[in-house]
Structure 1
Amino acid sequence: MKDINYYSTFIAVADDCPVSAAEVPQAKGGVKTVPVIQYEMISRSPYVYTQADVLFEVHADLERESFFSRSQACLRASALGKRYGWGIHHNAEGKMALYAVESEEYRKLLQDRSIKQVKAMRSSRKS
């Protein structure tokens, strides 16, 4: 991987920058822009991220937003539960763990009426 980071370097404000005092970038229409994400990362954690870290995180954030702007299949449609025999437990924080269908933990979760019970989607409409 090519090293795109700067070392022992200061990037000064451009000669044609339109402001004489720094401004905090603002989201547009409730959506974080590239400068907002960059500002938040660098200002909240000075000397933590490299240029590569910031550029990649901005890219990942924008791709995530684009990805979730479209409808996505939920994990009920995953082959883990449809084909491979794995139950997926979501805890109160939405974090997940896998449980083998033959395990005691799976059986306990299946019988736990304090949590919502749903099935993985069927592979076919038959039977």
Structure 2
Amino acid sequence: MGSTNYRGTLILVADDCPSDEAEIPPTRTKSPTVAELQYALISARPYEMTSDDVLFEVFATRNEIAADKRTEAREAFFAKDQVCLRSSPLGKRYGWGIHHDADGRVALVAVGSDDYRALAADPEVKQLKAMRSRRA
């Protein structure tokens, strides 16, 4: 099973992120977007879930996978390579850095905040950029 988890890493906002400050993704009435679901999961439970947990939970929610089928579905989901949170709309569009602690659990960090600046300046924290939305 592949993993998307990082440890001791900050995913910085993308170079082409249009937001100068962190924004809560707008709510859609029909079905929640990936950004909405990721934001809701991570913001409600900072440093409780890993990247793998977040990505699978979003997949399971969007595909209406029943609770009793999730173990099998998770194995099938990670049997294929998955994109990591560097491709999340939170870092690409909405101005959120994603910090992975030493155990791989994630929390959101608002761009421009004291926490964001401190983590970005910490030599012990690996820095990765969220993927750009457009080619350079």
Structure 1 residue ranges (4+ consecutive) displaced by more than 3 angstroms after TM superposition: none
| Aligned positions, number | 71
1:125 to 122, 132, 135: 135
Residues 2-37 of structure 1 show CA distances to partners (whole Å, capped at 9, x for unaligned) of xxxxxxxxxxxxxxxxxxxxxxxxxxxxxxxxxxxx
1:113 aligns with 2:118: no
Q: Greater strand share, 1 or 2?
A: 2
Cα drift, residue 62 of structure 1: 0.3
1:81 aligns with 2:67: no
Distance (whole Å) between structure 1 residues aligned to residue 111 and residue 125 of structure 2 = 17
1:71 aligns with 2:65: no
Distance (whole Å) between structure 1 residues aligned to residue 70 and residue 132 of structure 2 = 33
Distance (whole Å) between structure 1 residues aligned to residue 67 and residue 101 of structure 2 = 30
Residues 79-121 of structure 1 show CA distances to partners (whole Å, capped at 9, x for unaligned) of 1001000000000110000010021000000001101111101
Unpaired runs of at least 5, structure 2: 1-65
Percent of aligned positions that are identical: 55
Amino acid at match of 2:105: K
Distance (whole Å) between structure 2 residues aligned to residue 96 and residue 119 of structure 1 = 15
Cα drift, residue 56 of structure 1: 3.6
Larger Rg: 1
TM-score, length of structure 1 as denominator length: 0.53
Unpaired runs of at least 5, structure 1: 1-54
For the aligned residue pairs, the C-alpha RMSD in angstroms reads 1.3
Distance (whole Å) between structure 1 residues aligned to residue 134 and residue 90 of structure 2 = 15
Amino acid at match of 2:95: G
**Structure 2 counterparts to residues 18-97 of structure 1, below 5 A:** 56-57=67-68, 59-97=69-107
TM-score, length of structure 2 as denominator length: 0.50
